[in-house]
Chain A
Amino acid sequence: MNDAKVVRLSVNGHACEPSTPPNETLLETLRGLACFEVKSGCEKGDCGACAVLVDGEAVDSCLTLTWTVEGADVTTVSGLGTMDSPHPLQKAFIERGAAQCGYCTPGLIIAAQSMFDNDTRDPSEDDIRLALSGNLCRCTGYTKVFDAVAEAARIIRERGESS
C-alpha cells in the first residue's frame, strides 16, 4: 500500500494538512481533526449522518476517500454557525423542536444547506423531502425537520430580499 501523504484541505475556513493513508475516508480524517460533529452512522450511504459540504455540495464523508478531495473546501455543520451566532437552519431546528437525540442533525442541516446552495432557496415540501431523502432520523418522524427547513428557507429569503 502507498504510504500516508499530507493532504491539503480547508476545513471550515482553516487550512489543514493531515497525513492520511490512501484508504482513509474523509469521515476518518475529519474526526481525526477533532470535527466530532461529523457522525459515523451506517457507512453505506443510507443515513447521511456523516454529510459535509465539499466545495459547496453535500456528500457522505464515509464514502469519500480523502486523497480524492485534496484541495477542497470542506464545511461541517460547525462551519455554518456558532453558539453565539447560529445559522438560520440551526436556529429553526432548535425553535421547531426538530432535534431529539441529535445524532442525525448535523447531516440534516448540511443536506438542507446544500439544497439552498445548489437547487432551490424556495423549496416546496416535495423539494425538502427530496433533498433530505438520504438522511435517516429515528427520533423525530421528520415532520418537525421539514417544518424547520421550510422556516429557515423563509428567513434566509426574507433576509436576502431586505439586504
Chain B
Amino acid sequence: MYAEFDLHVPRDLDGALAVLAQSDEPGVIMPLAGGTNMIVDLRARAVSPGALVSIGKVPGIRGITIRDGRVRMGGRTTVSDMLRHAELGAFAPSLVESARVFAGQMVRNTATVAGNICSGSPAADLVPPLLALDADVTLASRSANRTIPLSKFYQDYKVMARRPGELLTEVSWDAPAANATDLFYKLARRKGDAITVVGVAVAMRVEAGRCHGVRIALGSVAPVVTRAPAAEQVLEGQAATSERIDAAARAAMDAVNPIDDIRASADYRSHCVQVLVRRLLTRAREQLASGSQKTRGSRP
C-alpha cells in the first residue's frame, strides 16, 4: 500500500489507550478495528493518520453478554459474531437483520460494531437498529470511562463525540420487554454487498392498546444516521391506527434531508422513507397484535 503510517498492535487495553493518549489532535493517531473502512480510506487518502492503533489483539472487548436485563456487546464484536450468537435475535431482531444484509461474508467476519459506529458513515447499517434500541456507547480513555447515549454521539457528517484519546469499548442497551419489537429494513440496489440507499429501523411496545417507546431511526438520508422524533411523537401514547401510522411515516419523510448521489436521488430516498416507515410500523403492530414478535426463549 502506498499510504505510510506507523502501526501499533498492543496486547491489552491499557497499551492501546496509552498510545491513543499520545495525541489530542483528531486524526493523528487513529484506532484500527476490522479495517474494512479504514484501509479503503487510507488507500483513497481520505484519511492520513501518522499512526494506527490496532485493537485486533486486545482481549476482553469482543463478545455479547445478556445479563440482568442488559445486552452488552464489546466494541471488537464482529458482524458475524452477531449472526452466530444464539440469543441475540430474540433481544435485537433489527440488529441481527442489519448484520445479515451487511456487505459480504469476508467484511462481516472482520468489521466490528465499534468500527461501524465510529466510521461516521450515514450508511452504517448497524447504527439505525442500535438507535432504535436506544443503545449507549462506552468510551474508554487513559483517564476515565464515560457512557453516553448513541443518540448524542453523532454531531455532523463524520463528526462524533469520540475524543482522540478515546476508544469505543462497549455498546449496551436494555433488553426489550416481551411486549416490544424492533425491525430493520435495508433498501439497496442489490440484496448483498451493496451500500444502503435508505435504512430504516423502528422499535415500539404496546400496552393496553397504546404505543410506547416508539423509536424510528433512519440511515443514508441525512449527514448522520438520525432519529425522527417528530414522527415518533405522532405515535407515542396513541393507538397504532393506520391513520396514525400514515401520519408518522409522513412526519419521518418531512424530517429527512437526503442528497442525490450515484445510488439514488434525494426525491426517491424521501419517498422510500415514507413507504418503509409505514411498512415497518405496520409490521410491528401486526407482530405485537398476534404475539409473533421474537422474544426471549421463543426464538425458532
Residues on A facing B (Cβ under 8 Å): 1-2, 22-25, 28, 43-46, 48, 51, 57-60, 62-65, 67-70, 111, 114-115, 118-119, 129-136
Contact = CB atoms under 8 A, between A and B. Distances in A.
Interface string B80-112: 100110000000000000001001111111100
B229 interface: no
Contact of B43 (A43, A68, A118, A131): A43
A22 B7 contact: yes
A133 B80 CA distance: 13
Nearest to A136: B193
Smallest CB-CB A-B distances: 7 pairs? A134-B104, A133-B192, A22-B7, A60-B106, A133-B104, A68-B56, A63-B39
A60 B107 contact: yes
Nearest to A58: B106
Contact of B35 (A65, A115, A119): A65
A23 B107 contact: no
30 contacts: A1-B6, A23-B5, A24-B1, A43-B43, A45-B104, A46-B104, A46-B193, A48-B105, A48-B106, A58-B105, A60-B107, A60-B110, A62-B39, A63-B36, A63-B39, A65-B52, A67-B7, A68-B7, A68-B9, A68-B32, A68-B54, A70-B9, A111-B106, A114-B105, A114-B109, A118-B109, A132-B105, A133-B193, A134-B104, A134-B107
Interface residues of B, number: 35
Interface string B57-70: 10000000000000
A25 B39 contact: yes
A111 B35 CA distance: 19
Contacts of B34: 63
A70 B103 CA distance: 26
A118 B80 contact: yes
A118 B84 contact: yes
Nearest to B1: A23
Given A68-B57, A130-B105, A57 B80 contact: yes
